[in-house]
Structure 1
């Protein structure tokens, strides 16, 4: 099969022919139909986050089940599925307490010494990135890393549910849980931020302020449900948001992974407000609340992958899209082929568009 391989951090991906193993117990072989390009991939490609190499990136995908291994119960051959990097074990304290996104995935990877899921034709192993490696014609994953969806869901849009929407919308539904009428600020309007804006509208938020330096993305945010937009690089952007909301927002969602964006999320909170950090910050960066913030009852929290409960949340997101509430068509701004993947990531670095999706043969 053809795959995009990261040989060395900071270098372009190379297209290579790889061999994918047959599914073992609890494993599912999926023919990839679509894979979204995400900033999280760029963190590994550019070397900001470490990963064993060579590896195949890509973690926001949808496809069709080609084969299943022994003991697979969740999906069957022919099912249309969406994958998720937060593969869950189902038995740890996090899974059993309903916090599946925090599961470390024990038992969802092949044990040390077993044959690799991905390899070069000579048998040299190739690392699987984030349990998926979706920038390839086939994926071999644990059954708890995918979920079957309705057959009438278009797979190019379904792919976005695997990360951007699960994270952005999940942060609203699972972590923030705004009360109807609450004010929400979303800082960063890429795929994750736009999904958060859309979910805030679905959840009944009152004022929804989208902050992004790109006029194009601010316009997309308005299409997704933002009531107001602002350029966060403008002078006193925090003061402008506080003034718009007469004292600050109940919820601020950071969706880009920049220290200045996290600081802005804290600055725009009203008394008792909550800042939720979704972006992948530099590993040595700290985000905090001042003593006065704490005395004002403000809260700072993470929202890993939107604190998703993937098998439950994903079908509901599909229903939201097919019911006309989730605006995935607006988010999907480019469709490319696998041989254009480096151009796609270059556009992502520049901040062009909201979400690009690689389409494979048969899409």
Structure 2
């Protein structure tokens, strides 16, 4: 028996209880979770914005130590330190063969298969195939990326989603280069990662936008050169900071139609708009046919930062080791399993960056 935060019904609060984890089956890995970031995607799964079989253990941005492995597992062994990968590529489908493992058609398979049970035998599903809001979890072999034992697991945890997604959006999806003007709409965990990555590549200016003015200090500390309150006047303010043109690349890190429109209007003619935020299927964004033609902008969706964790995690760890990437700077509060609902409330209210759940 291990403790976990369980979602019994979408739209209801999580409750902490004991669950039963079986021994890992063929191709599976059991991990003792050390730390897990609370991501907005977890909130979207909890409130019904995203589909999720229930009851479920949410949490997908985690790191820990391998406890045991099932038959056939060769990538990791008991005692290894690992980062949890919520979108493990199968390496066999058309997308994987085409060099787009972040679009793997089987990456979400584990989310639809129970990985544990409640004490009464009710099957439990792992949120995003990971189930990291628990003392221990079971993931597919490719859902555990081995990392060096000297990397603090609390730091490694936020690499699993916030940094891979945010930094990947800069390095991979948009391929931002030195001197380009960047606008970042939404200063949460992913937006902060975008700011840091933009600073690392030498973007200038780097303009952070958020509806909460209290985010200014945090944004400036993580790489922004300017902060603008995200309202109907924000695009004009961005243009004033970029020679009247607008940003070369604008990142939307909220998943809300108004934020997408702000990013769009803040970019220059011929610029890039990268949508990183996860929105609702019911949330519609409208563009006129004329503006799509006239402005010549590129509107791009960004899933998982266009990353391959097997390749990108070592690169990110090098940046952490050199001091260029400050993972700790993304974490503005820590809690335990009982504090996850409070972390959700902080996200709803727009407070802080990442909350880290410590289980060690």
Q: Do the two structures share a fold, i.e. TM-score over 0.5? A: yes
Name the counterpart of 1:101: 102
Selected match of 1:244 from 233, 241, 244: 241
In structure 2, the CA distance between the partners of 1:272 and 1:93, relative to structure 1 (3 Å rule), is: same
CA distance in 1, matches of 2:291, 2:262: 16
Measured after TM superposition, the shift of residue 154 of structure 1 is 1.1
Question: How far apart in 2 are the matches of 1:41 and 1:26?
Answer: 26
How far apart are 1:287 and its partner, in Å? Answer: 3.4
In structure 2, the partner of 1:260 is 258
8 Å CA contact retained: 1:288, 1:300: no
Give the Cα–Cα distance (whole angstroms) in 2 for the partners of residues 259 and 267 of structure 1.
Answer: 12
Contact 2:110/2:126 (8 A) holds in 1: no
Q: Secondary structure at the match of 2:156?
A: helix
Task: Give the Cα–Cα distance (whole angstroms) in 1 for the partners of residues 123 and 291 of structure 2.
Answer: 53
Q: Which runs of 5+ in 2 are unaligned?
A: none
CA distance in 2, matches of 1:23, 1:104: 24
Deviation at 1:282, TM superposition (A): 2.1
Report if aligned partners of 1:88, 1:144 keep a CA contact under 8 Å in 2. yes
Aligned residue for 1:21, secondary structure, equals coil
**Corresponding residue for 1:226?**
224
Secondary structure in 1 aligned to 2:339? Answer: helix
Superposition map of 1:1-363 within 5 A:
1-105=2-106, 109=110, 116-233=114-231, 235-246=232-243, 247-287=245-285, 289-290=287-288, 291-360=290-359, 363=360
User: Contact between 1:167 and 1:305, CA under 8 Å: does it hold in 2?
Assistant: yes
Separation of aligned partners in 2, 1:165 and 1:34: 15
8 A Cα contact 1:59 1:85, kept in partner: yes
Contact 2:63–2:83, Cα closer than 8 Å, also in 1: yes
Provide the secondary structure at the position in 2 that maps to 1:280: coil
Q: Which runs of 4+ in 1 moved over 4 A?
A: none
Equivalent pair of 2:81/2:147 in contact (CA under 8 Å): yes
Give the gaps of 5 or more residues in structure 1.
Answer: none
CA distance in 2: counterparts of 1:326 and 1:292, whole angstroms: 37
- Residue-pair matches, total: 357
Question: For structure 1, which segment, 119-128 or 249-258, has the greater mean C-alpha deviation from structure 2 after superposition?
Answer: 119-128
Is the CA contact 1:87–1:108 (under 8 Å) kept in the aligned structure 2?
no
**CA displacement, residues 142-179 of structure 1 (integer Å, 9 cap, x when unaligned):** 11112111212111111101111111111011100012
Deviation at 1:288, TM superposition (A): 5.2
TM-align CA RMSD = 1.7
SS at match of 1:89: coil
SS in 1 for 2:271: strand
